[in-house]
Structure 1
């Protein structure tokens, strides 16, 4: 299928596809961050918040242990590590893609060893020690622009209102009054500085041995920049995208967001943040760093669905061991075909399979091949609605163990197994399905839909077990599923 963007961002063992926008959830483990300081100081609370963000739609969790708001107290690498290491370790253990927001090479190196996949350096890898860490790991890298001397546009005194999250910038002198007045400074000199720095630092990393595919750039909104300058930079997003690196948009709750929206309270700027994020995505940015993951995911998913043709292949495993099993499979397939922005492309035969995972009776299973334009987390909600409409009652998500499949009888079970170009980790959804390669009752039906599912799945990073080692062995062919 032809796509507008085939780009990927290589981040350690993860390969993040950029055919659609990705959300980086902000997890500040600090007492003094500008809009959420102190909320996640307890490591367990921070880990739970990170896992919650995954279920809300985050693809990446960005963990930070040092605030850079005006008047902040710089922390030592030791203190920063004490704050974030338990959180990084806990999230990595859950399979999350973890980014570490640090300017300290020692902390970056330690977190990389613990399994962090991304190093997000606000100083843009200007420290040779950070460049060395980058070269010695396989992490994805965020190169951010921050010139503490400012961009030199000599904005009027009335504009010197700085981002709460960043160190103060000395007040600039008033410019000479000209007969030609413009609402914003000239774009060219600003973008020469910003893009020149980002390009130089990216090349420094590549000369040190870092692959280009690991590098992402961030223009650093709010870091010693006036609101007018930040607006100019955001309007030039397409120019930054043309540099050939993924562009990260990190505008969440910044002062300039308040300036353009009229919202004083930083924590109340999420709607305005989402508006700017949509503009960035429209101009080619593909990673969005936000505090309000749920709101951003809702806004971006809706925007993407109505603005881009982005049909993806997927596979849903259906199973039934109650009542008229074949009718249950057929009705579930019909309901899946009725999901908005989704259609059924093909359906395997139904197969009788041995009980698995503690189920007492044999199960009728099939696999449905779909095409969908929905975000996987939106799609899984629709599949759960299909289950509910056919009388399936799952255990409460707050009390059940997501790593242990349910053993109760069910009229229908709808498992989203695989979606083209998608990987996700969370209690609500894991893609590819973590048990896909061990299920005979999925692999065998997939043979009806393609020549070699083992090769197909292996190419997508799924380990498929030999048939004698699988669970839920197929015992007989029950024939076609009459769903149309």
Structure 2
């Protein structure tokens, strides 16, 4: 049985837990995708789309200047940089984990300096200059199998050996193994080639000084491979996962997906992509590179919830400054405990706290410790539903800081970091909020040490906002 993978993928300053599947959203910055009306690219619209994908469930945004495909001439490095740099800069400023999809070492180096956390190289780090970029930085590295890419984008594509024949050069792919009278070609020679290439390139990176836990492997679905070969490779996902590196499934809208699902247009292939992604996850892949983030997230979250026991600790900050404040908090706790795949473990006392962030009146605050098996974005949706059910009214002009019957802030979830307008984890204000940190002392011995160990910057008590003024007593919710 395949051992569950609880590895961490180190990418730049981020430690990405692979205890559950992660989604890499594809953001192709092209004039066709984001026209500015003048024949150029609206980079602001591209960055906004990247932020939308974060809210849809993406953990990583993979930014490329053009879709990478066999037979397609690559962009010059200066043109590629002009497209991706403004978008990457904007996404990094919002705290996103960003991957740059490039085979140009100068572009990769520039983007990593700007804060990109991952270099996704379709040529599999066969260019020594790209290996040097990886060695000189702390970026995560996606090594993709594409034998015909040779030693770089400008090298003539070479054909692999077919049995004992001599190598040939051609624009069309040749089979990786001889054809037999069976529905699929033999697995062994195909996987020797794919896994051999990936293993060799991973070792090349490690010899250059890149640590094992920064390297991710991608078998390169659709890149100079026949549909039959792609299916063979997908069926061998378990073997590739056993190599010990994080494994990326990049099957979204590949031609073999349409071939096996009967879908002619790329946009029609998304449901089939969900199915292949779930198969990949079941066999050990943990990163999914997809176009349709929202649909993939929904399919994967549902699959994961019903097939894996994955309970996480979390904390929800609760506040009320309208009506019977303690009753509002009590009812909110009861409703949170009723959320599917979620339970309340314990609740702090309620505390009277100073107004903060533009709020006019004192607030009653508490913190609930929970266990949940829901994806954080799904749980956030449930918490917003609790606010709505308790009559919270939102005034856009008050930027979320107006009077509220109840405020349910998901501030921390075990093993989770996320950036986005809808949810950021850990909560960006967690380390400065006295009205959260003091109630957490009721739930654990030393919340400051706990949070700092989790990477949260906790400020000194005198520098905090919303200081606690009085203990309002226990919340009796059970």
TM range (shorter): over 0.9
Shift of 1:169: 1.9
Number of aligned residues: 458
Are 2:280 and 1:286 equivalent residues in the alignment?
A: no
Q: Map 1:56-75 onto structure 2 (within 5 A).
A: 56-69=56-69, 71-75=71-75
- Name the counterpart of 1:169: 172
Q: Which residue of 1 aligns with 2:256?
A: 256
SS at match of 2:345: strand
Where does residue 85 of structure 1 map in the other structure? 85
**Alignment correspondent of 2:476:** 482
Q: Could you tell me how far apart the structure 1 residues matched to 2:193 and 2:345 are?
A: 50
Q: What is aligned with 1:106?
A: 106
Distance 1:182 1:428 in 2: 50
Separation (CA, whole Å) in 1 of partners of 2:105 and 2:425 = 32
**Alpha-carbon offset, residue 123 of structure 1:** 0.4
- The unaligned stretches of length 5 or more in structure 2 are 149-157, 164-169
Deviation at 1:4, TM superposition (A): 3.8
Which residue of 425, 429, 439 corresponds with 1:435? Answer: 429
- 2:303 corresponds to 1:300: no
CA gap 1:192/1:107 in 2 versus in 1, 3 angstroms: same
TM-score when scaled to structure 1?
A: 0.91
Q: Secondary structure at the match of 1:25?
A: strand
Kindly indicate whether the alpha-carbon contact (under 8 Å) linking 2:315 and 2:367 is maintained by their aligned counterparts in 1.
yes
Q: Superposed, which structure 2 residues align to 1:13-162 within 5 Å?
A: 13-31=13-31, 41-69=41-69, 71-148=71-148, 149-150=158-159
Q: 1:150 to 1:367 in 2, by over 3 A?
A: farther
Quote how far apart the aligned CAs of 1:41 are: 3.2
Query: What is the distance in 1 between the residues matched to 2:240 and 2:70?
Result: 28
Q: Give the alignment's TM-score, normalised by structure 2.
A: 0.92
Q: Deviations over 1:186-205 (max 9, x none)?
A: 11111111011101100100
**Equivalent residue for 1:411?**
405
SS at match of 1:357: coil
SS of residue in 2 equivalent to 1:269: helix
Q: In structure 1, what is the Cα distance between the partners aligned to 2:394 and 2:237?
A: 45
Partner Cα separation in structure 1 for residue 367 and residue 45 of structure 2: 39
In 1, Cα distance between the equivalents of 2:201 and 2:271?
Answer: 33
CA RMSD, 1 decimal: 2.0
Structure 1 residues 172, 58: CA separation in 2 closer, same or farther (over 3 Å shift)?
closer
Q: Relative to 1, partners in 2 of residues 1:328 and 1:168: Cα closer, same or farther, differing over 3 Å? A: farther
> Contact 2:4–2:284 at 8 Å: present in 1 too?
no
CA gap of 1:418–1:278, structure 2 versus 1, over 3 A, is same
Counterpart among 439, 459, 464 of residue 465 in structure 1:
459
Name structure 1 gaps, 5 residues minimum.
155-166
Query: CA contact under 8 A between 1:357 and 1:405: conserved in structure 2?
Result: no
2: distance between equivalents of 1:352 and 1:175? 75
Cα displacement (A) at 1:73:
3.2
> Any conservation in 1 of the 2:177–2:189 contact (CA below 8 Å)?
no
Determine the C-alpha separation between the residues in 2 that align with 1:61 and 1:232: 28
Task: Write out per-residue CA displacement over residues 197-223 of structure 1, whole angstroms, 9 at most, x where no aligned residue.
Answer: 101100100010111110000000011
